[in-house]
A and B are shown apart, each in its own frame.
Chain A
Amino acid sequence: MSIARLDSVRADFREALAEAGNDPEALERVRIAYAGQRSGLLRDLAAALRDLPPEDKREYGRRLNELKAEIQEALAAAQRTALEMKVQAGTGRVGVTGYPVDVTLPGRRPPLGAQHPVQLVRRRVESIFLRMGYDVEDGPEIEDDWHNFEALNIPPDHPARDDQDTFYLPGGMLLRTHTSPVQARVMERRQPPIRIIVPGRVFRRDSDLRHSPMFHQVEGLLVDEGITFSHLKATLETFLHALFSDEVAVRLRPGYFPFTEPSAEVDISCIFCRQAGCGVCSRSGWIEILGAGMVDPRVFEAVGVDPDRYTGFAFGLGLDRVAMLVHGVPDLRQMFEGDQRLTRQFA
């Protein structure tokens, strides 16, 4: 072995590399022959080092390293080129299966869960009001007469009780007919400032296309010093724009609720016909969406809040109604049948 041997190996390598061209298999054979871990020529050449006379060792080692670097770089470059050529030529591997896939076949989707549309609407409403600094409160679904009616300025035999036909339990308890009793409970518990919403399930003895004996509401209450009707209007506009779109017009008109004075019915411009007139808005261009008003001083008195110091507003929204509107569900009762196909549309 000598330094000359290194030169002849270099020449052979260059020739073999040129011969292999861009054939990946030929290149691999060249790689094994020269740079293979077990029997490559480079390995033999390195092994020869120890048999050389000491004065040649240094020079031989240097040259060997040069050769090694050249071979490795040239091989890597050639392999890279070969791969590129192969990809360009389109003769690469044909998928895992070995045959082309029909990409129009349906995908296998993972099974996804879904929330009920009423819950989706509830959480949207919650998130809007949480961002405005409202707390989300909770209360019992089985209520007493005081919190559901009397504290809200609806004494026994009040005609307003006709509008809220009530389910009773023996002993005078009842199923809450609205989420408003939680207003009363919170005000009994703590003094203003109060800024809350109360989503929840409510019950009325009514069943047809638009009424279900069980449905869902969200109640809002803000009580502080100096709260005005103008604040109510702006809060509702902000909320409704966030819930539907900035495009909707919001209309307040006088209404009647025993627990607010003055009271307002709140309409939005029809989101379906843009006020051109359609079935959903009964050709009026407006959709009734919530009830609201300034908290009646009698309610403040009933729950121990000073009506001379504080004013406030309250509002209530039907969550199911919003879900029906937004998603075009025609029959409210369908929402509570238990059909998973209704829910899975909302995955």
Chain B
Amino acid sequence: MKFDLGWLRELVDPAADADTIAERLTACGFLVELRERDADGEVWEVEVTTNRPDAMNHRGLAREIAVATGAALRPLTVELTEDAEPAAAVAAVEVVEPPLCSRYVARIVRGITVTESPDWLRRRLERCGVRPINAVVDVTNYVLLELGQPLHAFDLALLSGPKIVVRRAASGERLTTLDGEAREVDPSMLVIADASRPVALAGIMGGANSEISPSTTELLIESAHFDPLTVRRAARRLGIHTEASHRFERGCDPEMAATACDVAAAMIAKLCGGRVCRGRIDVDARRGPARALSLSVAGLSRFAGLEIAARDVLRILDGLGFAPRAQGDRVTVTPPSHRVDVDRVADLYEEVIRHCGYGAVPARLPVLSTSPGHRHPNWELVDRARDAAVGVGLAEVMTFAFIDPDDDALAGELPLPGGPPLPLSNPLARTQSVMRRSLLPGLLGGARLNLNRGERALAIFEQGRVFSAGDGAPVERERLALAIAGSRDGCAAAFTDLKGLVEELLDRIAFPAIEWRRGGAPWLDEAEGAVLVAGEAVIGIAGLLAERTAARWELRQPVYVAELELADASGGKPPVRFQPVPRYPSVVADMTVEHPAGLAYATLDGAVRELASERVETVELLGTPFTDEKLLADRVRTTLRLVYRHSERSLTQDEVNAAQAELRGRLAARLGVSFA
């Protein structure tokens, strides 16, 4: 909020220099964000938190400055000359809803000429960001800026009655506000009406039908106190935010309503001529004064961790208007009407500590038990997955948790655990309007961006949650997804590259035994797609992105993807058991098996492991299975490399040759394969 430094300094005695005021204000909770200098002095942008409506005006902030700089707040004096004619004889005020309007003060000023405001007044308004209009409106704004009381001036001649009725709007009623908008109001909203129609939205904005014009000669000045919630709801529903509504929503000082009305009437009479009618019309339905609070100075010192003297407690609370009374260790106060935020001892503690200065509080670490910290198992799981992905060379990306509903509809076709989608009620954009059910849409958006920007080797992953509707509560699941394309050496990534990555991940994340089955359509290419199965549950997919899916993300080169459901990982790897390191050399023996094209590698590999000599340590695929339709016609040649080793002596080549021959015989018998 903008403040005129000269104006602030007028209100405190003695006024400290600008730098001191800025420093002390910041220290007691009002951050001076910006200081601008012009011919009339400095204008400050000061952050006033939402709980402090009392400081959203010059006098309120000056009160803080006075306490913070050891000065006094100058008393507020009103020089008002009243006319003999009683206000009550000119107009009437009826409050139909006292709970929504606890006080309504009005003054009548007659015989005025609406002029322009003098320069000093116009400058002050402009410097605080308010556009001058005419002397009457300017005075109401000036009083708002000085005292924090929102005011409204009605052209009395335009009020039928003349009468003010504070009531709920009737269904279907309409009001054109001062900004020229025709608005429909409803019974949830409070309006100011005359005898026949609404003339203002209570606490928000006046109506055009009673606006001050150059021909206005008689005024009714409204200075009221409206229910914060009612103002807030109406302002939100109508989409209006004004200086008045901002303050009413946060809570104004009902005590100030009368004073502010007097100040405004006196200023208008001075600037525009005219007579102020005798007396205020004051419909006052306030409840009693605030509850007294009592604090212990020793308790406060303990809470702060700072030795605070009773005299400082009294000085601070007195300066802030709490009228403290001391008795031994106890200080009793009555919160002033402008402090709507203070109703507990904890609030008083804050008042004292912030004016002592947080800087004055010593920094002392608490003495705590020496128990070590533990991480929630979910963090252990997701970080294990993240470390595994980083360990295999993938770069982590993070994308939004809400995505395009069309993309999410595709995500619904994944053969992974899930449920119905969760759309947002108030998204920022359609492309961010439904909670993701898969990490792949976001990841593929990232893949497209990287490839479009000329990355030749893509290797990215994301770890995060996916969301779906469940029975009652929404379900959140931790996932890990990855995408690879291209390669450093210029040759394209292949299914085996992806599978290698995924196998390494599964190992490191400590998944149980996983079976790879062909599948993953329609997301994955039918020829190069797999679902990962643990027991009978699908816990992941891995493969080449199907053409249709790739086209959706405008991916023109083959992209391999995988997505894993992390909840199915075990609690981590068991501790490693040492295996004796072999001392005798191994013997390598290769074997090329010629078999029908339909024989899965897993079957061949399984048979070899089962039928081979116990001296076989490892079996691995050498190169890629060779197939040539002309040469072999539906036959494939697969070369296996077996490593033989005896734990207690060196094996001879003759022994290995014999074992290989025996294995070939067994394989031929079992699988009907031949050997090249």
Interface residues of A (CB under 8 A from B): 110-116, 118-119, 123, 126, 129-138, 140-142, 157, 159-160, 162-163, 167-170, 173, 175, 193, 195, 199, 201, 203, 205, 207, 213-214, 222, 224, 226-231, 233-235, 237-238, 251-256, 258, 261-265, 282, 294, 296-297, 311, 335-341, 343-344, 347
Contact = CB atoms under 8 A, between A and B. Distances in A.
B450 A111 contact: no
Given A113-B394, A207-B428, A233-B361, A135 B374 contact: yes
B371 interface: yes
B460 A338 contact: yes
Nearest to B373: A130
Question: Which of B28, B361, B398, B445 has the largest count of A CB atoms less than 10 A from its CB?
Answer: B398
B233 interface: yes
A261 B445 CA distance: 44
A262 B350 contact: yes
A167 B476 contact: no
B302 interface: yes
A286 to B, nearest CB: 9
Contacts, number: 246
A132 B396 CA distance: 29
Contact of B445 (A157, A251, A338): A338
A141 B474 CA distance: 10
Contact of A297 (B346, B372, B457, B458): B346
Given A201-B465, A338-B449, 11 more contacts: A113-B396, A116-B398, A135-B376, A162-B50, A163-B50, A167-B424, A213-B400, A230-B362, A235-B365, A254-B358, A258-B51
Given A173-B474, A227-B366, A116 B425 contact: no
Contacts of B391: 113
A253 B26 contact: yes
Given A142-B467, A142-B474, A224 B396 contact: no
Contact of B370 (A112, A133, A235): A133
A247 to B, nearest CB: 16
28 contacts: A112-B393, A126-B375, A135-B373, A136-B376, A138-B376, A167-B424, A195-B373, A201-B465, A213-B402, A213-B428, A228-B305, A230-B362, A231-B365, A233-B362, A233-B364, A234-B363, A254-B354, A255-B49, A256-B49, A256-B50, A256-B51, A261-B347, A311-B303, A337-B397, A337-B446, A338-B443, A338-B450, A340-B458
Contact of A214 (B392, B396, B401): B401
Contacts of B374: 135-136
Contacts of A343: 395-397, 460
Nearest to A168: B425
B249 to A, nearest CB: 6
Identify the 4 closest CB pairs spanning chains A and B, nearest first. A338-B446, A230-B305, A254-B29, A256-B49
B193 to A, nearest CB: 24
Contacts of B361: 229-230, 233, 252
A261 B29 CA distance: 13
A167 B434 CA distance: 11
A230 B306 CA distance: 7
Contacts of B599: none
B21 to A, nearest CB: 15
Interface of B: 26-29, 31, 33, 49-52, 229, 232-233, 249-250, 302-306, 344, 346-347, 349-350, 353-354, 358-359, 361-366, 368-376, 378-379, 383, 386, 389-402, 422-428, 432, 435, 442-443, 445-447, 449-450, 453, 455, 457-460, 462, 464-465, 467, 473-474, 476, 488
Nearest to B455: A340
Contacts of B396: 113-116, 119, 343
Nearest to A337: B449
B553 to A, nearest CB: 11
A186 B473 CA distance: 19
Contact of B422 (A135, A169, A255, A296): A169
Nearest to A313: B366
Contact of B397 (A160, A203, A339): A339
Nearest to A216: B398
A262 B354 contact: yes
A234 B396 CA distance: 35
Nearest to A342: B397
A254 B371 contact: no
B604 to A, nearest CB: 31
Contact of A113 (B26, B249, B364, B390): B390
A138 B378 contact: yes
Contacts of B446: 337-340
Given A135-B373, A339-B397, A159 B386 contact: no
Contacts of A262: 346, 349-350, 353-354
A140 B443 CA distance: 22
Contacts of A115: 386, 390, 396
B390 A114 contact: yes
Contacts of A137: 376
Nearest to B444: A338
Given A163-B50, A254-B28, A296 B358 contact: no
Contact of B399 (A162, A168, A222, A338): A338
A169 B304 contact: no
A258 B358 CA distance: 19
B442 A338 contact: yes
B363 A114 contact: no
B426 A167 contact: yes
B398 A336 contact: yes
Contacts of A135: 373-376
A129 B455 CA distance: 38
Contact of B29 (A170, A253, A339): A253
Contacts of A265: 31
A151 to B, nearest CB: 17
Contacts of A258: 51
A229 B353 CA distance: 9
B401 A203 contact: yes
A170 B423 contact: yes
A234 B369 contact: no
B365 A169 contact: no
Given A113-B389, A169-B422, A336-B399, A228 B303 contact: yes
Contacts of A226: 302
Nearest to B363: A234
Contacts of B425: 167-170
A229 B347 CA distance: 14
B625 to A, nearest CB: 27
Nearest to B426: A168
A264 B26 CA distance: 12
Given A116-B396, A265-B31, A341-B455, A136 B375 contact: yes
Nearest to A139: B376
A133 B368 contact: yes
Nearest to B475: A142
A256 B56 CA distance: 15
A292 B506 CA distance: 41
A169 B229 CA distance: 24
Contact of A339 (B359, B365, B424, B450): B450
Contact of A340 (B423, B428, B460, B467): B460
Contact of B363 (A111, A112, A230): A230
A132 B205 CA distance: 54
A231 B474 CA distance: 38
Contacts of B402: 167, 213-214
Given A169-B474, A230-B363, A253 B27 contact: yes
A323 to B, nearest CB: 11
A340 B426 contact: no
A234 B371 contact: no
B393 A111 contact: yes
Contacts of A193: 368-369
Nearest to A238: B365
Contacts of A230: 304-306, 361-364
A195 B305 CA distance: 19
